[in-house]
Amino acid sequence: MSKPAPEQRPVTLKQVKANRKVHKLIEGANEVLDRMGYTEHGHRHAGIVSSITRYILNTLDSPERDQELGAIAAYLHDMGNVVNRLNHPMIGAVMSQQILTDMGMPIEEIIPIMGAIGNHEEHKGQPISRICAALIIADKSDVHFSRVQNSEYETFDIHDRVNFAVQKSRVEVRSDPPEIELTLQVDTEVASVMEYFEIFLSRMVMCRRSAQVLGHQFKLSVNGRHLA
β-pair partners for 217: 179
pTM of the model: 0.93
Residues 117-170 pLDDT 10s: 999 998 889 999 999 999 999 999 999 999 999 988 888 988 999 999 999 999
Write down the pLDDT at residue 90. Answer: 97
- How far apart (Å, rounded) are the C-alpha atoms in residues 218 and 166? 19
Q: What are the boundaries of each domain within the chain?
A: 13-226
Is the domain spanning 13-226 CATH 1.10.3210.10? The answer is yes
194 contacts: CB under 8 Å, gap ≥ 6: none
DSSP one-letter string for 29-50: HHHHHHHTTPPP-SHHHHHHHH
- How far apart (Å, rounded) are the C-alpha atoms in residues 56 and 146? 23
In the sheet with 217-222, reading across from the earlier edge strand, the strands are: 166-175, 178-186, 217-222, 225-226
Residues 68-80 pLDDT 10s: 999 999 999 999 9
Residues 80-106 pLDDT 10s: 999 999 999 999 999 999 999 999 999
